Structure 1
Amino acid sequence: MTDRLDALVDWFRHSSPFIHAHRGRTFVVSVGGEALTDGTAAALVHDLALLNGLGIRLVLVPGARPQIDERLNARGAAIRYVNGLRVTDAEALGCVVDAVGSVRLAIEALFSMGLANSPMAGLRLQVASGNFVTARPLGVRDGIDYLQTGEVRRVDTAAIRQRLDDGALVLMSPLGVSPTGEQFNLYAEDVAVAAARGLQADKLLFLHEGEGLVTAAGTPLGELTVEEARERFEPATPTAEPLGAQVARAIAACRGGVPRVHLLPRRRDGAILGELFTRDGVGTLITPRAFERLRAASVEDISGILALIAPLEDDGTLVRRTRERLETEIGDFTVMEREGTVVACAALHRIADTAAAEIACLVVHPGYRDGHRGRQLLERLERDAVAAGCEALFVLTTRTAHWFREQGFAPTEVESLPAGRRAFYNLARGSKVLAKALG
C-alpha cells in the first residue's frame, strides 16, 4: 500500500507542471468509430472527462466508419471506394446518418454516466453538439461523381467557442449540411483538422489504429518537424492508408496554424494521459519548423558560445573558458539555435569511473530568458544523461542554486561529489553543490 501511495504521489508531483501548462488550452481530439466496438470507449471517455475537470477545453470528433459499414452490410448494399474515397449514394447516406447518430448518442451516454464506483462519479459534464459544420460536395473527380461525399466548407468557430466558454465538451460529427440543406458524409479526421485550424487550437490529437511511427531501426519516433514529416512520408495524402493519412493531415494542420499535432496509438490504454502528462509522451509529436532548435554543439558554435558566456565570465558567475578548452569540450555541449544564432548553451560532463555527470555552463541569452529555455536545455541534458547510463547529476553554482532547486536538484555537501570531481573543487569560489537522482 505504501509503495502504491508513493507512486501516486510521485506521479502527481511530476505531472503538476503539465497540469498548469494545459489549463485553459483548447485541444481537438479525433478518434475512429472503432473505439466504440472493442470495449475501450469507456476508458477513453473517463480520460477525456478528467481533462475537462483539469480545465482543458475539449472538442471531440468521433468517426463512424465501422458503424457505417455494418449498416451497409446489413442492408446488402455495396461499400464503394474510388481512389481511397467513399462514394456515398442515397442508400449509403441513410446508413451514414443512422451510424453517426448512434455514435453521438453512445458517446453522450458514456459522458452521462455517474455511478458511485466509477471515475465519472459526481461528474456534471455537459456535451454540446450541433450544426457546427457547413459542407459542400466533393464533386466529380477524375470522372467519378462522389455524390453525397463532401468536404468541410466552414466551421462555426464562434458557436464552438461559446460552448467551450460555458464549460461544455463539444462533440462534432462527420456529417455536414450545405446552405441548400443537403447532407454530406465527411471524413472525421478532416473535420478535426478544420476545427483545430479554425479554433487555432493548442493541440490536435489523432488516436490512430495500429502501431505508431518508428525509425528504420524500429525505435519509436517521438517528435518530427513538418519538414521532417514531409521528407519521410510524402507523397502521403489524406487518402493514404493507414498512418500516412494522419501524417498528411498533421502537416496540413500545422501549416494552418496548429502548433502541435500528436499521433497516438488508440489501443494503448491511457495514451492521451501518457502523452500530455509525462515528459517523453507515448506517441509522435509533429510541429511546424521552429525558429529554435536544440542540437549537439559543433566547433562552428564555439564563437557563439564564447560571446554568450563572456558577460558571465566577466562578472565571476562562470569560470573563464578559453577557446582551446571549448574546442576540447565541445562534444559535451548542447546549444539552442534561433535563426542561426546560439541563444543558449549547456554542457554535460561525464565524471570518470562513475555513473554520474555534471551540468555546467548553462547560459541563456538575456533577451531570451522568459521562455523556459533554461528548463528545456536542462531537460534535454537529463534525457541525454539517462541514455548514457547516468544515475545522478551534480551542479556547482554560485548564483543560481535556487533555480536548480526549482528543477528538482537538492543541496548537498562537497564531500558527496565523486572523488575525481572533488579533487578539482575550487575552495576560493565556494560554489554550492546540488545533486539530482535520475531514473
Structure 2
Amino acid sequence: MRERLTHFREILRYVPRFRDRVFVIALDGAVVEDDNFPNLLLDIALLRSLNIRVVLVHGAARQIRRYAEMIGVTPSDLDGTGVTDRTTLQVAITAANRVNHEILEGLTANDLRAVCPNAIVAHPAGILGGVDHLFTGRVERVDVGLLTTLLEHDIIPVIPPIGIDGCGNSFRLNSDAVAVEVAKALRAIKLIYLNTEGGIPAPDGSVIRQMPVQEADAFLKRHRQDLPPEIVTKLVHAIRACKEGIERVHIIDGREQEGLLGEVFSNEGIGTLIHANEYQSIRQAQKKDVRAIHTLIQQGIANDELVKRTRAELEKIIGDYYVFEVDRNPVACVALHLYPEQNVAELASLYVDSRYENQGIGQKLIAFVENVARSRGIPRLFALSTQAVNYFIQKAGFRLGHPDDLPPSRREKYELQGRRSAVLIKELLPRELAPLRSGASIG
C-alpha cells in the first residue's frame, strides 16, 4: 500500500507540467498483440484522467506479415520504407484496419472515446535511387485542425500507417515517421515509441537511460551496424524529432507492465530518453531542497564518505549548495564554502545518487563549482576526502596538501572531526578539466 501511495505521489509531481499537453504514443503492431496491451490501455486511460492529451499512431508490420502468409503472397515491404506494390498495399490496408479495430475496442472497454481520422495527407515517395517506390508514400501534411478538434472534445485520434492524397489514393507509410510528423504538427511535449526491443542498448549490454540528441547522433554513427534494425529506425526518427522541435522522445518496451507510466513519471525511467533541450541542469539550492540534499548525503554518510550534517545545519548554509537536477528533481549535490579572509574556498558534500553514477554528473558539478570560485576571484580550492584521494590526484588535477593548508577555522573543525581526511588542493588556473567518476564523493 505504501509503495502504491509513493508511486501515486510521484505521478502527481509531474501533472502540472503535462496537463493539457500532447503526448504522441507510437505503437508497433507487435505491441498491440502482446498480452500487456490491456495494461497499456489502462496506462493511457490514466494519462487521460490527468488531462494529458493523447494521440496514438500505430504500425502493422507483424500483422502485414501474418496476413500475407494467410493469403499466400509475399509482401514487397513491411515497414513502409521500401517498395510497396499494389498487392502489398492492399495487405497493409487490411492489416492496419484490423489493428485500428483492436485499439478502438480496447479504448472503448476503458471508457475512452476514440476515432480513426483521415488526418494524414500523403504523396508518393517517388523514384528513389533510380527505383520507383510505387505505393510507398510520405507525409505531405497533417490536418492539425481536425486533430485539435478531436483532442479538445476528449477524443483520442488513432492514426494508421496509411495516408491518402487529395485524389483519394492510398499510400503505405512508415509509422515511426508518421509519429514524428504528428508530434511536430501538434507541438507535442513528448513522443513515445513503444516497441518489443526496449531502449537503446549500450555496448556493454545495459540500456542507455538518456542521451542528448547530439550524443545520440554520434552514437548512431558509431554503432549503427551493431544495433537491431528495429532500434535503428527508432533512434533515427527520435534524433530527427528532437532536431525538429520535440523536446523529449522516449523509446521503451511496450510489453513491460506499467512501463509507460514508469518511463513518463519517474526520474530514471525504464527505457531510453533522447532529449533536445538541456534536460539536466545545475542550480543554486533553495530551502525547498533541504530535504532532498539531506537524503542524498545520508548515502555518503552511511558509506563514511561524507561528514554528518543535520537538516537544521543544512538550512543555515543552504546558500552554499548547488543541486544537479534530472527532470527537475535533485539527484546530486555539491557545496562551495568560502573563506574570504584567506581567499580560498572548500568544495564539499559532493555526492551523486547511485542510480546516476557514471554519467559525468560529478564532473559537471566540480567544473561548475570551480567556475563559481573563479568568478569570485578565488584562486585556490581545497577539498577533504577519505576514499577518493587517488582519483582526485590522478584525474581531477588536485594535489596532496597538509592540514596546515586549511584556513584556521576549518583546521579546527578538521581536528575535532577526527576523520583524518586527506587534504586536496587545486589551483584554479585555466585548464581542461579531467573527467570525474560521478559516484565519487568528498566531505
Aligned counterpart in structure 2 of residue 65 of structure 1, from 44, 61, 64? 61
Aligned residue in 1 for 2:229 = 241
Residue 223 (str. 1) matches residue 210 (str. 2) = yes
More moved, 210-219 vs 139-148: 210-219
- SS, match of residue 6 in structure 2: helix
Q: For residues 15 and 140 of structure 1, do their structure 2 counterparts lie closer, same or farther at Cα, with a shift above 3 Å needed? A: same
Residues 227, 289 of structure 1: 8 Å contact kept: no
Residues 120, 141 of structure 2: 8 Å contact kept: yes
Q: For residues 374 and 259 of structure 1, do their structure 2 counterparts lie closer, same or farther at Cα, with a shift above 3 Å needed? A: closer
Deviation at 1:217, TM superposition (A): 3.0
Residues 223, 286 of structure 1: 8 Å contact kept: yes
Deviation at 1:373, TM superposition (A): 6.6
* In structure 1, C-alpha distance between the alignment counterparts of 2:302 and 2:60, rounded to whole Å: 58
* In structure 1, C-alpha distance between the alignment counterparts of 2:304 and 2:186, rounded to whole Å: 51
Aligned residue in 2 for 1:427 = none
- Number of aligned residue pairs: 330
Residue 145 (str. 1) matches residue 97 (str. 2) = no
* In structure 2, C-alpha distance between the alignment counterparts of 1:133 and 1:353, rounded to whole Å: 57
Tell me the alpha carbon deviations over residues 297-350 of structure 1, each in whole angstroms, 9 at most, x when there is no partner: xxxxxxxx9xx89xx9xxxxxxxxxxxxxxxxxxxxx9xxxxxxxxxxx99994
Tell me the alpha carbon deviations over residues 54-110 of structure 1, each in whole angstroms, 9 at most, x when there is no partner: 111000001111111222222222222499933221211111111111111111111
Aligned counterpart in structure 2 of residue 384 of structure 1, from 352, 360, 368? 352
* In structure 2, C-alpha distance between the alignment counterparts of 1:277 and 1:378, rounded to whole Å: 15
* In structure 2, C-alpha distance between the alignment counterparts of 1:375 and 1:95, rounded to whole Å: 43
Unaligned regions of 5+ residues in structure 1, if any? 114-119, 296-304, 313-333, 335-345, 390-419, 425-439
Residue 182 (str. 1) matches residue 150 (str. 2) = no
Residue 167 (str. 1) matches residue 157 (str. 2) = no
Aligned residue in 2 for 1:117 = none
Aligned residue in 1 for 2:364 = none
**What amino acid maps onto 2:206 in structure 1?**
T
Aligned residue in 2 for 1:274 = 262
* In structure 2, C-alpha distance between the alignment counterparts of 1:376 and 1:192, rounded to whole Å: 27
Aligned residue in 1 for 2:70 = 74
Deviation at 1:209, TM superposition (A): 2.0
- SS, match of residue 44 in structure 1: helix
Deviation at 1:14, TM superposition (A): 2.7
Aligned residue in 1 for 2:38 = 42
* In structure 1, C-alpha distance between the alignment counterparts of 2:329 and 2:122, rounded to whole Å: 45
The TM-score with structure 1 as length reference comes to 0.66
Deviation at 1:15, TM superposition (A): 2.5
* In structure 2, C-alpha distance between the alignment counterparts of 1:84 and 1:28, rounded to whole Å: 19
Deviation at 1:276, TM superposition (A): 1.3
* In structure 1, C-alpha distance between the alignment counterparts of 2:236 and 2:120, rounded to whole Å: 21
**What amino acid maps onto 2:216 in structure 1?**
A
* In structure 2, C-alpha distance between the alignment counterparts of 1:353 and 1:174, rounded to whole Å: 53
Unaligned regions of 5+ residues in structure 2, if any? 287-292, 334-349, 358-412, 418-443
Aligned residue in 1 for 2:246 = 258
* In structure 1, C-alpha distance between the alignment counterparts of 2:50 and 2:328, rounded to whole Å: 24
Alignment of 1:16-415 (within 5 A): 16-81=12-77, 85-113=81-109, 120=110, 123=111, 125-234=112-221, 241-290=229-278, 293-294=280-281, 350-351=300-301, 354=304, 363=319, 376=328, 378-381=330-333, 384-386=352-354
Deviation at 1:173, TM superposition (A): 1.1
Deviation at 1:158, TM superposition (A): 1.6
Residues 133, 177 of structure 1: 8 Å contact kept: yes
Sequence identity percentage = 26
Deviation at 1:180, TM superposition (A): 1.9
The TM-score with structure 2 as length reference comes to 0.66
More moved, 260-269 vs 15-24: 15-24
Residues 349, 357 of structure 1: 8 Å contact kept: no
